[in-house]
Copies of this chain bind each other. A is one copy, B any other.
Amino acid sequence: MAKFKYYWEDFQPGQVRELGSTTVSREEIIQFATQFDPQPFHLDDEAAKASVFGGLCASGWHTCAMAMRLMVTNFLHETSSLGSPGLDNLKWNKPVFPGDTLRLQHTILETRPMSKRQDVGLVHTVWAMFNQHEEQVLHMEGWAMFRRREKSPEPTPLANK
């Protein structure tokens, strides 16, 4: 009786999942930026208009955090997820503005066993987030660890010499 719907064995390269959407408010953008990224273009309309972004926009870390929330709520909570060692090639392609609705798409690139732990496997994925105009606002390539459904059998002991 499995505890989760998805274990490492259930992931295959090429699988694409739509992981829902979220709408971000002006208040949420300012609240996150006040706490973690108080740069003028995340807090102040006039400063933001004069910036390269052209208007008040979300911290890139806020965009990542919103993607993570969709990932957990609409996927990871049904999996044997054990966290992530890191990621690569993170791009904030476009600014995220107040009222934007962001959807997350998740594609599996590759899976491999973990050499150090027989009960854990790694999964390499692309996260892509799009706004309501179908413009991509976020891209990243992450590694995640998942518990395996069944441990591989222990290696057969070498014959006594």
Contacts and interface: CB of A to CB of B under 8 A. Distances in A.
Interface in A72-108: 72-73, 76-77, 81-92
A38 B68 CA distance: 9
Nearest to A37: B68
Contacts of A92: 83-86
Closest 6 pairs between A and B when the two form their complex, measured CB to CB: A36-B65, A86-B91, A61-B65, A36-B69, A86-B90, A37-B68
Copies per complex of this chain = 2
A23 interface: no
Interface residues of A, number: 37
A41 B37 CA distance: 25
Contacts of A82: 51-52
A89 B141 CA distance: 10
Given A36-B66, A64-B64, A69-B35, A52 B86 contact: no
A77 B37 CA distance: 10
Nearest to A145: B52
B88 A88 contact: yes
A30 to B, nearest CB: 14
Between A38, A53, A61, the greatest number of chain B beta carbons within 10 A of the residue's beta carbon is seen for A61
A53 B72 CA distance: 18
Interface in A121-139: 139
A87 B85 contact: no
Contacts of A36: 65-66, 68-69
